[in-house]
């Protein structure tokens, strides 16, 4: 395990200490959890972007009908009264 220093402004430190106290956890535990969450989210996002780029490189694009179906799912008709 490696230890390193993170510099935070006073307000973030105060908030971190409050949360640590309420959760009965250490400041280090919460920081490690936050880093774990960040890494997982970023790794997932990068993998999805890379997969999309690979599909595009292979010429796999959505059709106009596919796009229309997605737009129709989220955009209502202006003719509603």
Answer yes or no: is 41 within a domain.
yes
State the residue range of the domain holding 66: 11-74
3 in any annotated domain: no
Q: Is residue 60 part of a domain?
A: yes
Q: How confident is the model at residue 78 (pLDDT cuts 50, 70, 90)?
A: low
User: Per-residue pLDDT tens for 31-45?
Assistant: 999 999 999 999 999
Judge whether 62 lies within some domain.
yes
Whether 4 is in a domain gets the answer: no
10 Å CB burial of residue 20 (0-12, 13-18, 19+) is middle
In-domain check, residue 80 = no
Q: Has residue 30 been placed in a domain? A: yes
What pLDDT, in 10s, does the model give residues 2-33?
A: 999 999 999 999 999 999 999 999 999 999 99
Is the per-residue pLDDT at 48 higher than 80? yes
For residue 81, the model assigns a pLDDT of 47
CB neighbours of 26 closer than 8 A, spacing ≥ 6? Answer: 20
Look-up: residue for tokens 């956890």? 25
Task: Give the number of domains in the chain.
Answer: 1
Q: DSSP character for 78?
A: T
């Amino acid at each position: 395990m490696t230890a390193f220093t993170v510099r935070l402004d006073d307000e973030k430190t105060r908030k971190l200490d409050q949360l640590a106290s309420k959760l009965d956890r250490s400041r280090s535990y919460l920081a490690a959890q936050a880093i774990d969450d960040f890494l997982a989210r970023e790794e997932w996002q990068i993998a999805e972007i890379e997969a999309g780029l690979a599909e595009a490189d292979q010429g796999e694009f959505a059709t106009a009908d596919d796009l229309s179906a997605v737009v129709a799912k989220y955009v209502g008709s202006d003719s509603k009264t």
